[in-house]
Amino acid sequence: MGTMLSWNSQYSIGVEKIDSQHKELFDRINILLNAMKLGNGKEEVINTLDFLEQYVNKHFMDEEQIQRDTKYSGYDIQHKQHDEFRYKLKELRIKFENDGINTSLVISTQKEMTDWWRNHITKLDSELGKHIINVNNR
Ligand SMILES: [Fe+2]
C-alpha cells in the first residue's frame, strides 16, 4: 500500500540537529501509518497520533527558534507551512474521532504526510540549511 517515509541523504539539509529531528519525525509518522494499516483500534491509533504531534510541536518550536536566532528571512513562510501541518494533524484527529479508520483514509494520510514532508524538507528546509551553514561559517 504505497511507500512509507524512509530517510535518506537526499533529505539531509546539512545541519545535524535538524536532520536528526527529521529522522525521528519520519519514524513517528511510520508508527502512525503502521497502526492505521494494521487496523488497530481507534484509541490506539490516536495514541500514535499524540506521540507524533508531541514531536512535531517540539521540532517546529526548535526549528523556529533557530530561525529567529539566526535572523532568517524565510521565517514567515516557514511558520506558515508549519501551521498548515499542525492543522492537518488536528483535522486527522477529527476524522479518526468521527469516521474511524478506513482504507481510503490510510491511503490519503500516507500520501499527504509523505508529500508534505518531502516538499517541505527538500525546498524550504534545504534553503534554511544553507542559511544556517552560512551563519555558522561567519
Ligand atoms: Fe521547517
Q: What is the CATH number of the domain that holds 24?
A: 1.20.120.50
Q: Return the pLDDT at 2.
A: 54
Distance CA 93, CA 120 (A): 22
CA of 41 to the centre of ligand 1 (A): 31
What is the mean predicted confidence (pLDDT) over 32-53?
Answer: 94
CA of 123 to the centre of ligand 1 (A): 9
Q: In the chain, what percentage of residues exceed pLDDT 90?
A: 90
9 in a structural domain = no
Residue 72: give the domain boundaries: 17-136
Distance from the alpha carbon of residue 34 to the mean position of ligand 1, in angstroms: 24
Distance from the CA of 74 to the center of ligand 1, in angstroms?
A: 10
Whether the per-residue pLDDT at 16 is higher than 90: the answer is: yes
pLDDT digits (tens, 9 = 90+) for 70-95: 999 999 999 999 999 999 999 999 99
pLDDT category at 138 given cuts 50, 70, 90 is confident
Residue 28, number of CB atoms within 10 A of its CB: 20
Rounded Cα gap, residues 98 and 93, in angstroms: 9
Task: Tell me, yes or no, whether 6 lies in a domain.
Answer: no
pLDDT at residue number 4: 78
Alpha carbon of 106 to ligand 1 centroid (Å): 24
The domain total for the chain is 1
- CA 129 to chain CA centroid, Å, is 16
pLDDT at 35 over 90: yes
Q: What is the pTM of this model?
A: 0.94
Ligand 1: centre distance to CA 61 (Å)? 10
Helices of type H across the chain: 16-37, 42-69, 75-99, 103-120, 126-136
